[in-house]
Amino acid sequence: MAHTLGFESYTDLAYLERRRFDYTQQDAANFRRQIKEIVTPAVAAIRERQRQLLGVDKLRYYDEALIFPEGNADPEGTMEELVEKALNMYQEMSPETGEFFEFMVKYHLFDLETRPGKRMGGYMTSFPGYKAPFIFSNFNGTSADVDVLTHEAGHAFQGYLAMRSIPVRMLAGSTSEINEIHSMTMEHFAYPWMESFFGKNCDKYLTAHLIGALAVIPYMCVVDEFQHRMYEKPDMDAHERRRVWREIEKEYMPWRDYDGEPFLEEGGFWMQKQHIFLYPFYYIDYALAQMCAFQYYGRMKTDRPKAWADYLRLCRAGGTRGYFELLEVGDLLNPFRDGAVAASVGHVIEEIKERY
Ligand SMILES: [Zn+2]
């Protein structure tokens, strides 16, 4: 595709396809470097602490999801009860979220339960003719169900607001660097209500959620760097591709231990990342957005009303401006600026140290 259209590589084309007009491949590389310097050592320390807590000689890749030896926190209640709890939460959170979630419940704008034959995954979409968001997911009884009611509901809340404040439909949403800020920040705004979902295991959920949000960032950078390397040399064979994956993985995720499984040891793990196949170069957007969500989370700790006002302004602005301009609208540090990664994650790393 890229050669036919006169581009040197698919990467150049993909950046345009993703409407990245504000930053370049070099900026992305500079961002990943900061993650490697700041987040990778912090996550390595968490993984070591996890190894001690689980009481294993080495932390294998299949241990990583288990944050507490006695098991991670699961939400309490049926699907209907969880939706009811979410309704209470959004009513208490703000008048805007209350109105939004009452609308969602009134018009049954969910398909949450897992059924035979239903497609997997979770996402938010919208029916613009009705100014109605819609949430699709597959509940499975784990904390991921609550994440749907905060993350996908964050997307839905933004859609609900923007469809009412922006007359041009295509401008209601932005690119994913911004859209994922809407959803990831809502996960943090929801923290004070997590006791109603997790009861006595609330602290465990909060700790695991923060660790999850931080620990996945180096992996996102592996996915991003891998794709840049792949499209730089598109004629690599399958073995070379796996070798490159494993080499990058060792830089960003030195703790990763495949327990001698030969296919994964030689780099096969990249094939389970559907974004590489379906949404090339998307994945780094989650890391960029999480930096901004962490900034809002830090602000919630010191000045929640300002954090909420800034967030609301960003949501209402939809995609009416470019990426960097929208960051200014939301009073957010540009994650590409030197020092921005440290400023975004510093308080999160400290909080995890206190909790875990
Ligand atoms: Zn999302």
Q: What pLDDT, in 10s, does the model give residues 139-171?
A: 999 999 999 999 999 999 999 999 999 999 899
Q: Is 129 exposed, middle or buried (0-12, 13-18, 19+ CB in 10 A)?
A: exposed
Report the separation in Å between the CA atom of 153 and the middle of ligand 1, taken as the mean of its atom positions. Answer: 9
Tell me how far the alpha carbon of residue 314 lies from the centroid of ligand 1, in angstroms.
16
Pinpoint the alpha helices (H) of the chain.
Answer: 10-17, 25-54, 79-93, 95-106, 143-147, 153-165, 176-189, 194-198, 202-232, 238-252, 262-265, 274-278, 284-302, 304-317, 323-329, 340-355
Ligand 1 centroid to 124 CA: how many Å?
8
Distance between Cα 306 and ligand 1 center (Å): 23
Q: Are 8 and 2 in contact (CB under 8 A)?
A: yes
Q: How far is the CA of 155 from the centre of ligand 1 (A)?
A: 7
Q: Is 34 exposed, middle or buried (0-12, 13-18, 19+ CB in 10 A)?
A: buried
CA distance 197 to 200: 9
Could you tell me the distance, in angstroms and rounded to a whole number, from the CA of residue 186 to the centre of ligand 1? 11
CA torsion angle 181 187 188 192 (round to 10): 150
- The predicted model scores a pTM of 0.96
pLDDT at 173: 93
Q: Which pLDDT value is given to residue 215?
A: 98
Pull the structure tokens for residue 101: 């979630």
- CA–centroid distance, 7 to ligand 1, in Å, is 30
How far apart are the CA of 183 and the centre of ligand 1, in A? Answer: 6
End-to-end CA distance of the chain: 48
CA of 45 to the centre of ligand 1 (A): 28
pLDDT at 111: 97
The CATH number of the structural domain formed by 15-75+175-356 is 1.10.1370.30
How far, in Å, from the CA of 323 to the mean position of ligand 1?
Answer: 17
Q: How are strands ordered across the β-sheet holding 123-127?
A: 110-111, 132-136, 123-127
Q: What is the whole-number distance in angstroms between the Cα of residue 340 and the centre of ligand 1?
A: 22
Distance between Cα 152 and ligand 1 center (Å): 6
Name the one residue in this structure whose structure tokens are 């540009």. Answer: 334
Tokens at 122, concatenated: 């979770």
What is the per-residue pLDDT for 216? Answer: 97
| Bridge partners of residue 84, in order along the sequence | none
CA of 322 to the centre of ligand 1 (A): 19
CA distance 87 to 149: 10
Strand partners, 111: 136
Give the separation between CA 73 and CA 162, rounded to whole angstroms. Answer: 34
The alpha carbon of 196 and the centre of ligand 1 are apart by a number of angstroms equal to 23
Lowest-confidence pick of 18-22, 101-105, 347-351 = 18-22
Q: What is the pLDDT of residue 27?
A: 96
